[in-house]
Amino acid sequence: MSPSSPPASITPFFHAGSSTWTYLVADAASASALVIDPVMDFTAASGRTGTSSAQAVLDAARLQGCQLKWILETHAHADHLSAGAWLRGVVPGARIGIGEGIRSVQQTFRSVFNLGDGFPVDGSQFDHLFQDGERLDVGGLQVQVIATPGHTSDSVSYLIGDALFVGDSLFMPDGGTARCDFPGGSAATLYDSIRRLYQLPDETRVFVCHDYGPGGRAVASQTSIGAEKSSNIHLTAQTSQADFVALREARDATLSMPALILPSVQVNIRAGQLPEPEPNGVRYLKLPLDSL
């Protein structure tokens, strides 16, 4: 897992409503770009969706003279709706990719939301399902896929040159690591995934998907493998698996469900596509009771 791609332009976008970082990764030489974890604006109280956050990313790509080629999801998020399907719809030829573990996530939540046998659980809502170790060329950008399950079974990280996009697996060092109590989650598996990332060079830049500004500090998007190994509050290079699992499971037992988990998951297992309109022309999301 040695970085080999040429330097890329990385532009972060922070979605304050969900504390999510979206990244535009562009290669000026080939006029190509990809976006990682785009967010659809959503107000739960009114059921209103919006695309201004995703449009800002698209505008930035165009300003840099780059065409959006790929939309990469690190996993089916439980805290925000993906704008992947909208971006694919407005950018001719753009494709959406996610880890192949999405099949397991779809299988689980098809039952939770009673979506019926007509809802595919083969990942076909996405254009491509990535396998561990797979490589993807996007213009001059070379992307290596690293499976990092534990938070969810479909979690992957993307290594582009010396830049690692870790999704929810790692937070900033003072934020720790992702919860592992969702269906398909495992603290022991997350430990193994993070230890695998820790094999990368210390200078590898790490770009997180979320930051909540612990202690009131300003939100941040970037750290390094070296900083994580030395000072991550949950898992340093010296932390044993047993100690991490005990810490992670104890912490998870105190956490409430994300506010948007129900709308987010049922949209995100569809690659960000909203449910089809019903005969009255309105789209509806389900709210299962006593299901999680």
Domain ranges of the chain: 9-258
The token pair that represents 24 in the structure block: 């535009």
Nearest to 37 by CA among 130, 204, 158: 158
- Alpha-carbon span 157 to 141, nearest angstrom: 15
pLDDT at 244 > cutoff 60: yes
pLDDT one-digit tens code per residue, 120-165: 999 999 999 999 999 999 999 999 999 999 999 999 999 999 999 9
**pLDDT-based confidence at 3, cuts 50/70/90?**
very low
CATH T-level fold of 9-258: Metallo-beta-lactamase; Chain A (3.60.15)
**Contact, 112 vs 160, CB < 8 A?**
no
Of 123, 42, 51, residue with least CA distance to 81: 42
pTM of whole model > 0.85? yes
At 2, the pLDDT band (50, 70, 90 cuts) reads: very low
Q: Could you report the per-residue pLDDT of 100-109, keeping only the tens digit for each?
A: 999 999 999 9
For residue 150, the one-letter residue type is G
The residues, any chain, with a CB within 8 Å of residue 250's CB and separated by 6 or more, are none
For residue 78, the tally of other CB atoms under 10 A from its CB is: 20
Sign of the dihedral through C-alpha 236, 242, 244, 246: negative
